C-alpha cells in the first residue's frame, strides 16, 4: 500500500491530487537494488526503516507542556506501515539470491510478501517518541526515568514461497535496511534472517495458476470432445474456474497441488461481458495437477443440457438486451465544500476523537492497527491493537456432484487482498475520498500495485440523538456521521465488500456486503432439487452459508506487558419469585468472566440478550 499516493476525489471520477512524495533511500548487506530496478521509484512511496547500525543520530526537541523529549529523526516509516513496492522487490530479490542453485531460483513462486509485524512494545515505542501523536503515556510504567532509544529496529518481511520443482513451501524472513541515497545511490538491501520448510501444506493459489489451469483443461482433447457433445465447439466460450481440491481422502492430500475446476460456458464469443456463470456445465469430472499443469483425472459422467441462453441474466448495459433501465432515480450529490473532517499523515488517520493506522495484506486485505480514542482529560485511550477479517469459508449444502466439494476458504485459498479492486473503476465511494494503494508480489516475484485499493470517507448516518420537550414543543436533534474505511474484492463469481465504521458515539462496527453472482448448478428438464432454489428454467442456486472470521486483538486501556483485557459475558436473567420480586417483574444483567478459550466457545442467545464486554480488570 502506498501512502505516497495520497489522493482525494470529490465523488467518483472526480479530480485527484497527489500529495508530496518522499524520496526513497536504501540499505544493508546481502542484496542491493536501485529503487527503479526494484519496481519502485522515488515517487513510488516507500523507504525502509533505518538500519540500527547505519541510522543517522537523532536530535531531540522539547515538546508538549510536560517537556517530553520527542525524537526528530530521519526515520520515515512507522513499524506498522505496509511494505512499499521497493521493499517487496528487495525482499523477493534477497530470497531468490539465497537459492542454492539456478534450478531452485527459477522454480521459486512467490505467494506473498508481507510486513512481519513487530512486537507490540516496538509499536508503543514508535507511537511514544518517533511518530505523532507522540504519547509516552502509552508505554508501560518503569522505575526511574524512561530510557529513550535512538532508533527503532529495522523492518522485516515475511515471504511465503512455493517451489514448483520440488512442490515444497518455505517461509522466509528478510530484514530490510536502507543507506542514504546521497552516498550510496539509493539502493535497498535485504538480509535473510531465517527460512523454514513447512511440510505437508499447499499455499494459496495465484491468478497465474487460474489462467494456467483454464488453459490446461481447455486444451485437453477429451474435454474438448465432452463440450462438443453439449453443442460447444468454440473453446473461447468456455470458462474454467480453479477451485482447491479440499480434503476428502488421501487422494486429496497436500503432497500434490490439486484443483477441481468448475466449468461454465458463454453463448457468444463477441460478448466478453456476458454472464457465463449463468450457464454451468454439469456432469464433467476433472482434476488438474497445478504443479505440472496436467489433467490427472477426467470423466464425462453425466450429460446435463446447458441452461438456455437468456440475455436478462446479464448485468452490463450492453448485454441486457430486452431489459429496461430505471429512469425514476434522480441524482444524489454528496458535497463537502470545506473538505473532510479527517486528517491523514501517511497511514495515520485522525477523525473526531478516533485515531488509527491503516494496513493491508494479500490474505486479509484491509487491516486496522492501533485504534485509540481521545477521551478528554484521560487522553488517548488504546482500544485495539489490530482488527481484520482473516478468513471466510462457504460450505455448500447440496450432496450432489460437484457441489458437495464446494467449501471455499476465500482468504486462505485465494487471498482477499490480492483479489481486491481498484476503486478507480467504479463509484464504490461517494464524497470527499482519500484512497490508499496496495502493493503485493505476483507468482513470479514481480511487484504489482492496485491503485485506489482502500477507500476512506465520511458518511451521513441519520440521527445520532433527538429529544422533544412535550411541554415546550422544542426539539433538539444531532445528526450522526461516521468514518468508513473499506475495500472490495472479487473471488471468482462472488464479491465481498469489507467496511469498518467509526461512529461519534464511540462505536466501531464491522460490516461485510455480499454481492456479485451466485455459484449455480444446472438442472435436467423438469427437475428440481431439495438442496437449492430454482431461479430460472434449468438453473438453480445450491444452498450455502458464509462464515466470516474476524481477528480482533483488543487492547482496551492496555499497555504492552501490562494487564490484558478480560472478556465478560452478560446475560439477562429473570429474578425468581419471592421477597425480591413480589410483583414478578424483576430482571437483571448477570456478568461472568470467561477465563479460557474453552469457556469462550459460546453461542449467540437473543433470548437472554447475550453480549460480551472487553476491558481491563475491574471492568
List domains and CATH numbers for the chain. 7-203+336-369 (3.10.450.40), 207-313 (3.10.450.40), 565-619 (no CATH)
Among candidates 347, 457, 462, 417, which has minimal Cα distance to 12? 457
pTM attached to this predicted model:
0.86
CB 222 within 8 A of CB 298: yes
CB 305 within 8 A of CB 395: no
| CA 382 – CA 386 distance, rounded (Å) | 11
User: Residue 390 has which C-alpha cell?
Assistant: 482473516
Count of residues making up the chain: 619
In angstroms, the first-to-last Cα distance of the chain is 37
User: What does 50-82 look like in DSSP terms, one character per residue?
Assistant: PPTTTPPPPEEEEETTTTEEEEE-S--S-TTSP
pLDDT of 545: 97
Tell me which DSSP letter residue 578 carries. B
pLDDT, position 321: 67
Q: Is the CB of residue 438 less than 8 Å from the CB of residue 417? A: yes
| Regions of the chain where pLDDT drops below 70 | 1-75, 138, 140-147, 178-188, 319-323, 618-619
Contact 154, 51 (CB under 8 A): yes
- The H or E element spanning position 89 is helix 85-97
- Under 8 Å between Cβ of 584 and 578: no
pLDDT of residue 46: 34
Residues near 109 by Cβ (< 8 Å), separated by ≥ 6?
A: 161, 162, 163, 164, 206, 443, 444, 445
For residue 365, what pLDDT is reported?
99
> How much is the pLDDT for 368?
99
Q: Is residue 343 helix, strand or coil?
A: strand
**Residues classed as catalytic:** 410, 494
Which grid cell sits at 556? 482496551
Predicted pLDDT at 424: 82
Under DSSP, is residue 529 helix (H, G, I), strand (E, B) or coil?
Answer: coil
- How many CB atoms are located within 10 Å of the residue 272 CB? 11
Amino acid at each position: 500500500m502506498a501512502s505516497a499516493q495520497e489522493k482525494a476525489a470529490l465523488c467518483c471520477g472526480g479530480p485527484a491530487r497527489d500529495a508530496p512524495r518522499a524520496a526513497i533511500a536504501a540499505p544493508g548487506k546481502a542484496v542491493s537494488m536501485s529503487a527503479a530496478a526494484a519496481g519502485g521509484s522515488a515517487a513510488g512511496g516507500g523507504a525502509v526503516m533505518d538500519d540500527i547500525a547505519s541510522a543517522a543520530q537523532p536530535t531531540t526537541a522539547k515538546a508538549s507542556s510536560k517537556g517530553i523529549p520527542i525524537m526528530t529523526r530521519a526515520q520515515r516509516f512507522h513499524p506498522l506501515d505496509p511494505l512499499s513496492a521497493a521493499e517487496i522487490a528487495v525482499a523477493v530479490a534477497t530470497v531468490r539470491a539465497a537459492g542454492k542453485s539456478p534450478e531452485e531460483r527459477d522454480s521459486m513462486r512467490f505467494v506473498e510478501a508481507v510486513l512481519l509485524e513487530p512486537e507490540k512494545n516496538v509499536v508503543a515505542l514508535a507511537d511514544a517518541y518517533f511518530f505523532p501523536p507522540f504519547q509516552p503515556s502509552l508505554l508501560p510504567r518503569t522505575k526511574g526515568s524512561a530510557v529513550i532509544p535512538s532508533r527503532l529496529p529495522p523492518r522485516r518481511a515475511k515471504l511465503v514461497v512455493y517451489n514448483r520443482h520440488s512442490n515444497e513451501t518455505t517461509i522466509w524472513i528478510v530484514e530490510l535496511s536502507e543507506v542514504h541515497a546521497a552516498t550510496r545511490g539509493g539502493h535497498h538491501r535485504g538480509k535473510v534472517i531465517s527460512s523454514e520448510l513447512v511440510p505437508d501444506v499447499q499455499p494459496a493459489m495465484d491468478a497465474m495458476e487460474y489462467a494456467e489451469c483454464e488453459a490446461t483443461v481447455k486444451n485437453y482433447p477429451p474435454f474438448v470432445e465432452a463440450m462438443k457433445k453439449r453443442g460447444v465447439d468454440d473453446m473461447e466460450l468456455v470458462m474454467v474456474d480453479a477451485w482447491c481440491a479440499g480434503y476428502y481422502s488421501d487422494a486429496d492430500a497436500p503432497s500434490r497441488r490439486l484443483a477441481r475446476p468448475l466449468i461454465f460456458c458463454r453463448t457468444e464469443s463477441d460478448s466478453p461481458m456476458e454472464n457465463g456463470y449463468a450457464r454451468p456445465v454439469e456432469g464433467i469430472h476433472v482434476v488438474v495437477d497445478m504443479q505440472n499443469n496436467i489433467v490427472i483425472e477426467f470423466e464425462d459422467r453425466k450429460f446435463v443440457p446447458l441452461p438456455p441462453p437468456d440475455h436478462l441474466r446479464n448485468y452490463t448495459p450492453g448485454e441486457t438486451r430486452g431489459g429496461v433501465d430505471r429512469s425514476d432515480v434522480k441524482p444524489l450529490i454528496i458535497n463537502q465544500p470545506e473538505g473532510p473532517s479527517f486528517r491523514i499523515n501517511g497511514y495515520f488517520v485522525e477523525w473526531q476523537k478516533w485515531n488509527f493506522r491503516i494496513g493491508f495484506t494479500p490474505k486479509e486485505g484491509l487491516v486496522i492497527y492501533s485504534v485509540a480514542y481521545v477521551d478528554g482529560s484521560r487522553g488517548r485511550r488504546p482500544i485495539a491493537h489490530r482488527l481484520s477479517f482473516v478468513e471466510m469459508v462457504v460450505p455448500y449444502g447440496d450432496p450432489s456432484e460437484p457441489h458437495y466439494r464446494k467449501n471455499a476458504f476465500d482468504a486462505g485459498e485465494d487471498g482477499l487482498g490480492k483479489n481486491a479492486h481498484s476503486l478507480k473503476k467504479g463509484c464504490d465511494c461517494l464524497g470527499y475520498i482519500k484512497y490508499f494503494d496496495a502493493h503485493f508480489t505476483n507468482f513470479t516475484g514481480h511487484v504489482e500495485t492496485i491503485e485506489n485499493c482502500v477507500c476512506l470517507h465520511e458518511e451521513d448516518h441519520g440521527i445520532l440523538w433527538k429529544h422533544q420537550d412535550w411541554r415546550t414543543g422544542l426539539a433538539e436533534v444531532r445528526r450522526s456521521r461516521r468514518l468508513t474505511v473499506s475495500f472490495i474484492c472479487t473471488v471468482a463469481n462472488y464479491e465481498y465488500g469489507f467496511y469498518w465504521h467509526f461512529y461519534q458515539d464511540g462505536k466501531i462496527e464491522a460490516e461485510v456486503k455480499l454481492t456479485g453472482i451466485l455459484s449455480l448448478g444446472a438442472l435436467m428438464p423438469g427437475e428440481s432439487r431439495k438442496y437449492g432454489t430454482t431461479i430460472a428454467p434449468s438453473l438453480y442456486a445450491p444452498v450455502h452459508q458464509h462464515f466470516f472470521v474476524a481477528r480482533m486483538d483488543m487492547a482496551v486501556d492496555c499497555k504492552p506487558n501490562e494487564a490484558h483485557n478480560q472478556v465478560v459475558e452478560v446475560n439477562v436473567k429473570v429474578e425468581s419469585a419471592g421477597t425480591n420480586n413480589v410483583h414478578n417483574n424483576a430482571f437483571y444483567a448477570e456478568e461472568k468472566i470467561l477465563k479460557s478459550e474453552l469457556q469462550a466457545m459460546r453461542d449467540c442467545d437473543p433470548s437472554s440478550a447475550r453480549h460480551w464486554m472487553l476491558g481491563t480488570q475491574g471492568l
